[in-house]
């Protein structure tokens, strides 16, 4: 600075050089923030509504915790594949009404002896949600199993 209080031309030039990049950074941050906000608004909220279905399990695998399930009243076309559900819930209810929350596999879905696969047709009530995995097919998830027989 000079004696009169004015900034020297070199100092003024340096301040201008600092202000321009700082202004560009602020503009870039604002644009990125607005873009992120718009992307967030365009996405569906993550929520699921559970539905209770009654039907028959035609196939079950304890190791993979997958079951083939036929819902009562739903007629499948000849070329339709099985509807596969992933049994993720730890809690289940046996046919006598006892609730199990110990992480065991439902006895009505289990195979005989050491065989993890069962093809016995067992009546169950499933509390299910459908999970949008981002691809075309949704994943069917059973969050609760109630054995009916």
Predicted confidence at residue 138, as pLDDT, reads 79
What percentage of the chain reaches a pLDDT higher than 90?
A: 46
Chain CA centroid to CA 23, Å = 41
Give which of 93, 71, 37, 38 is closest to 140, Cα–Cα.
71
Predicted confidence at residue 117, as pLDDT, reads 96
Please name the helix (run of DSSP H) or strand (run of DSSP E) that holds residue 40, with its range, or none: helix 9-42
The CA-based angle 109-115-117, given to 5 degrees, is: 45
Tell me: the pLDDT tens digits for 110-144? 999 999 999 999 999 999 998 877 777 778 899 99
Predicted confidence at residue 11, as pLDDT, reads 59
Tell me: the pLDDT tens digits for 49-90? 889 999 999 999 999 999 999 999 988 777 777 889 999 887
Confidence of residue 13 (pLDDT cuts 50, 70, 90): low
Tell me: the pLDDT tens digits for 33-47? 676 667 666 555 566
Asked whether residue 4 carries a pLDDT value surpassing 80, the answer given is: no
């Amino acid at each position: 600075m000079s004696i009169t209080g004015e900034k020297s031309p070199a100092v003024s030039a340096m301040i201008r050089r600092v202000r321009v990049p700082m202004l560009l950074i602020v503009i870039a941050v604002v644009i990125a923030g607005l873009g992120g906000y718009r992307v967030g608004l365009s996405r569906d909220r993550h929520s699921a509504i559970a539905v209770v279905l009654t039907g028959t399990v035609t196939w079950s695998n304890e190791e993979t915790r997958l079951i083939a399930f036929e819902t009562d009243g739903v007629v499948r076309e000849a070329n339709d594949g099985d509807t596969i559900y992933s049994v993720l819930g730890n809690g289940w209810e046996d046919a006598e009404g006892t609730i199990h929350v110990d992480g065991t596999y439902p006895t009505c879905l289990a195979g005989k002896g050491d065989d993890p696969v069962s093809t016995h047709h067992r009546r169950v009530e499933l509390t299910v949600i459908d999970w949008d995995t981002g691809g075309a097919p949704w994943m069917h998830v059973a969050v609760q199993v109630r054995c009916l027989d």
